[in-house]
Amino acid sequence: MNIQSIATSVALFILTGSAFAQDKIFLSNGNIINAKVKAVSGNNVIYRVWGGDNNSEYTMAKAEVDKIKYENGVEERFNDNNANYRDEAPVRASNAMKLSKSILAFSPIAFTENGVGFAFSFEQGIDKSGIIAYSLPIIATFNLNNAQESANNKHQDGMVYFSPGIKFYPTSSYGRVKYAIGPSLVLGAGEKTTGGDTYVYVPYGSYQFVPYQTQSKFLLGIMVNNSLNINPTPHFYMGLEFGFGFTYINTLGGTNQGITGITQSGFKLGYRF
């Protein structure tokens, strides 16, 4: 064998080895991603797609992975699943979107115990695994039922709420559909109208209408929020929120009205960045 043949054989060996020098991520749904795994951190697997046209890193929840077979032959198992695997490149787009930690959203419809309105919110992930995030919503609602008595000076009782809170994602916030739960502090300020009742005086049978009276209202409380995040694309975000709790302070015209229930809910559309 001459030197040229030896060099050719070595080159082929190197090229052949390079072709297989990749990691394989075996998913629970039977798909396989050819990748270069960068880290297995917390509840997530961070990787780059093998042969991709850029150096973008993607994050996938560990719960979606059965095992990883590294280029050196070592296997790391996460779930015991006998799925029939199929090598499928489009998995990158459908199951492992690269999602950012920040969400800016608008609620075209939001509800509180006061009435219906709208809201704005900002959410920011805290940890790299996407388990913990903080949320800063501002909500404005109006008591539309009072519109029926507007001729009698009955106001629509506007209220503005600020509800900073913490969200916990049990399976990470990175994914198409994710659930979160967490506590929120509730600060509310606005107005409330009372009166309008009719009293009957016995034995005379006379009636008296109590005029409507609008007073300032302030409340401070705590609630538990439930959230459902839906991410159709890496940047388009939809969400559903529902929270319930109670007040510590609930003043009307400066007088504390005692403990009362509070609720917040809404549908959100936003941008993830």
Co-location of 114 and 176 in the same domain: yes
Residue 16 has pLDDT above 90, yes or no: no
Buried b (16+ CB within 10 A) or exposed e, 226-246: ebebebeeeeebebebebebe
Co-location of 136 and 238 in the same domain: yes
pTM beyond 0.75, yes or no: no
Q: What is the pLDDT of residues 206-255, one digit of tens each?
A: 666 677 788 999 999 999 999 999 999 889 999 999 999 999 999 999 89
Co-location of 107 and 201 in the same domain: yes
pLDDT range class, residue 194, cuts 50, 70, 90: confident
Residue 67 has pLDDT above 70, yes or no: yes
Q: In DSSP terms, which residues pair with 177 in a beta bridge?
A: 230
Q: What is the pLDDT of residues 38-61, one digit of tens each?
A: 888 888 898 888 776 667 788 888
Co-location of 87 and 129 in the same domain: no
Q: In this structure, are residues 27 and 78 in contact, taking their beta carbons and an 8 Å threshold?
A: no
Co-location of 122 and 229 in the same domain: yes
| Angle formed at CA 74 by CA 72 and CA 75, multiple of 5 degrees | 140
- Name the range with the highest mean pLDDT among 62-71, 126-135, 261-270: 261-270
117: domain CATH number? Answer: 2.40.160.20
Q: Which residue has the higher pLDDT, 197 or 76?
A: 76
User: Which region holds residue 111: left if phi is over 0, alpha if psi is between -120 and 50, else beta?
Assistant: beta
131 three-class SS: coil
Co-location of 111 and 216 in the same domain: yes
Q: In this structure, are residues 199 and 208 in contact, taking their beta carbons and an 8 Å threshold?
A: yes
73: domain CATH number? Answer: 2.30.30.100
Please report the pLDDT score of residue 268 as a whole number: 97
Co-location of 136 and 121 in the same domain: yes
* Last-in-domain residue among 63, 95, 127: 95
Q: Which residue has the tokens 């705590």?
A: 222
Please report the pLDDT score of residue 92 as a whole number: 41
Residue 80 has pLDDT above 70, yes or no: no
Q: Which residue has the higher pLDDT, 30 or 247?
A: 247
Q: What is the pLDDT of residues 168-178, one digit of tens each?
A: 999 888 888 99
Please report the pLDDT score of residue 14 as a whole number: 44
Average pLDDT, whole number, for the chain?
A: 82
Residue 180 has pLDDT above 60, yes or no: yes
Co-location of 30 and 143 in the same domain: no
Please report the pLDDT score of residue 19 as a whole number: 43
The alpha carbons of the chain give a radius of gyration, in whole angstroms, of 29
152 three-class SS: helix
CA 64 to chain centre: 19
Q: What is the pLDDT of residues 90-148, one digit of tens each?
A: 444 334 467 889 999 999 999 999 999 999 999 999 988 889 999 999 999 998 876 55
Amino acid at 106: F
Co-location of 50 and 145 in the same domain: no
Co-location of 180 and 211 in the same domain: yes
Specify the number of domains making up the chain: 2
* Last-in-domain residue among 74, 95, 116: 95
pLDDT range class, residue 21, cuts 50, 70, 90: low
Co-location of 80 and 146 in the same domain: no
> Shortest CA distance to 101 belongs to which of 74, 71, 123?
123
Strand residue runs (E) in 4-157: 23-27, 31-41, 44-49, 58-61, 65-69, 75-77, 86-87, 102-112, 116-125, 132-142
Q: 133: domain range? A: 102-272
- Strand 31-41 versus strand 86-87 pairing type: parallel
| Angle formed at CA 106 by CA 178 and CA 244, multiple of 5 degrees | 60
Co-location of 68 and 132 in the same domain: no
* Last-in-domain residue among 78, 95, 112: 95
Q: Between the CA of residue 157 and those of 140, 145, 204, 217, 247, what are the distances in Å?
A: 11, 10, 35, 9, 18
Please report the pLDDT score of residue 20 as a whole number: 47
C-beta pairs of 55-59 under 8 Å, 24+ apart in sequence: 56/98, 57/98, 58/92, 58/96, 58/97, 58/98, 59/96, 59/98, 59/99, 59/130, 59/174
